Amino acid sequence: MKYTKEHEWLRVEGDLVVVGITEHAATQLGDVVFIELPEIETMVAEGDEVAVIESVKAASDIAAPMDGEIVAVNDKLVEKPGLVNADPMTAWFFKMRVDDLSVLDDFMDEDEYQDMIG
């Protein structure tokens, strides 16, 4: 598991990268009430806004952590956005195919992420 400075978690499944938000992010957002996910087969570049998450406190964009193609989305989150609050570490948003999984080496491991959030 790797982490971004934007409070996303990244998990490798075969040749795909699964993306979700961390427990810290879910707590900061509060009760999630709406999620908009990207279209499958969309090519994205690092930093592109690919998903929207709205809570009772705020709206936030989820950016693509790296260049790649969106190959799957978690439609359950659209129907039940509160799943993000219930278990943010399993409530994934989308899966990406990337050309080179070694780009994950540039992201934080759990210890580094915990140090960042204090």
Q: What range does the domain containing 31 cover? A: 2-98
State the pLDDT at residue 71. 98
CATH of the domain at 22: 2.40.50.100
The whole-number pLDDT of residue 81 equals 97
Assess if residue 118 is contained within a domain. no
Q: What is the pLDDT of residue 92?
A: 97
* pLDDT averaged per 10 residues, the chain (length 118): 97 96 95 97 97 94 97 97 95 96 96 96
The reported pLDDT for the residue numbered 80 is 97
* pLDDT at res. 21: 97
Tell me which residue has tokens 């930093």: 47
Number of folded domains that form the chain: 1
CA 42 to chain centre: 16
Q: Which helix (H) or strand (E) holds 63?
A: strand 59-63
**Residue 109 covered by a domain:** no
**Is residue 108 in some structural domain?**
no
User: For residues 58 and 99, what is the distance between their CA atoms, to the nearest angstrom?
Assistant: 34
Task: Judge whether 112 lies within some domain.
Answer: no
